[in-house]
Structure 1
């Protein structure tokens, strides 16, 4: 099994992920919001790269809630911004959510060709590691980054996920960048 950490969505654009499992990580905030929403009973979450695509999808999903931000600011007329604290059970249980963000939903869209696509964050590390261990297929940990640049919060989460996978499976191959993030996560978590 091979694991690769990609530092930002910019480095994933145009890449074919059809033979790999991909975990998109945007801990501040998109994937943390999605994980929280699912934990609080959201029925479905549909990610979109563009605001206009969300608004078009709303015509088909009339009762869906809209969530999103640009540069950290809630989009006018949307029900939610991009803070996990907004996604309370009483507001979202059994609801569909149409979501767009500056970084995370773009990363999801760029990895849509993946053999299997997951969302990851600090909130679901154990579950993601268990799911990834079900097969020995190659894994990409795709950090969303911030404005197409490397973001340490995403990279540390990816490093922790990789570290936990390496503790369970000894035959894992990684490149130097991935190994450096595993070692950095060791320093921070020990």
Structure 2
């Protein structure tokens, strides 16, 4: 087998240039979709169905599912909630299936079809995720959801944090992985201060949801790893850990 390869896709617009065969794709949307997915499944959600468009989400209406939609950082009117982690508490989601569409994260998930596996990463589950990825024989592609196909600082920094945990003998990194790791090493001393400069941080402050930023930057709050199976996200190996 060729050496294990770790690559970083800094924008979903670049995904067509990557070979997904034999690869685990890790979708990253730190502010806030991937964080909320990890938190919601850790809090007992039965499944999360990621869809790209609002109409796709509405097609599940009257089927007993919770419908969640976010656009431009805000909850879309007429839906149960958006992608704030504070909407994914045990009281709200336990035993429920959520259909979710977001500006960036759910679209990135759909674009990863064809990968050996698609999993979800956040700071909330970074150790569990990194440990699992280390044990996989497949190549790893860290897919940053970004913002409307533009590079985002927070997703790139997280990708670099995972690279930093996985790097070792026999591991090949592409240039984007090395750049992301360098960015993380600059940020790691004070993630909150570093990511306060991010465009989406400013966008969220404007929407008065700064508390979501702090929540999404917590390290190792859950050990749940969301994995895509038959179009829905469930817990890897059925492992559900109660979130604090």
Structure 2 length as normaliser, TM-score? 0.73
Give the equivalent residue in structure 2 for 1:43: 46
Alpha-carbon offset, residue 116 of structure 1: 0.8
CA RMSD of superposed structures (Å): 1.4
- Counterpart Cα distance in 1 of 2:17 and 2:67: 28
3-state SS, counterpart of residue 60 of structure 2 = helix
3-state SS, counterpart of residue 12 of structure 1 = helix
Alpha-carbon offset, residue 178 of structure 1: 1.2
- Counterpart Cα distance in 2 of 1:120 and 1:112: 17
3-state SS, counterpart of residue 46 of structure 1 = strand
What is the count of residue pairs matched by the alignment? 186
Q: Give ranges in structure 2 of 5+ residues lacking alignment.
A: 190-244
Indicate conservation of the 8 Å contact 1:58/1:98, yes or no.
Answer: no
- Counterpart Cα distance in 1 of 2:48 and 2:17: 24
Give the equivalent residue in structure 1 for 2:57: 54
- Counterpart Cα distance in 2 of 1:146 and 1:64: 27
- Counterpart Cα distance in 2 of 1:16 and 1:162: 19
Runs of 4+ in 1 over 3 A off after TM superposition: 13-16
Alignment of structure 1 residues 138-153 onto 2, 5 Å: 138-153=139-154
Alpha-carbon offset, residue 16 of structure 1: 4.8
- Counterpart Cα distance in 2 of 1:47 and 1:14: 23
Q: Give ranges in structure 1 of 5+ residues lacking alignment.
A: none
- Corresponding position: 1:34 with 2:34: no
Alpha-carbon offset, residue 15 of structure 1: 5.2
Instruction: Considering Cα pairs closer than 8 Å and 6+ residues apart, tell me whether 1 or 2 has the greater RCO.
Output: 1
- Counterpart Cα distance in 2 of 1:85 and 1:146: 21
Q: Aligned match of 1:2 in 1, 5, 29?
A: 5
- Counterpart Cα distance in 1 of 2:56 and 2:21: 24
Alpha-carbon offset, residue 40 of structure 1: 1.2
Structure 1 length as normaliser, TM-score? 0.93
Alpha-carbon offset, residue 135 of structure 1: 2.0
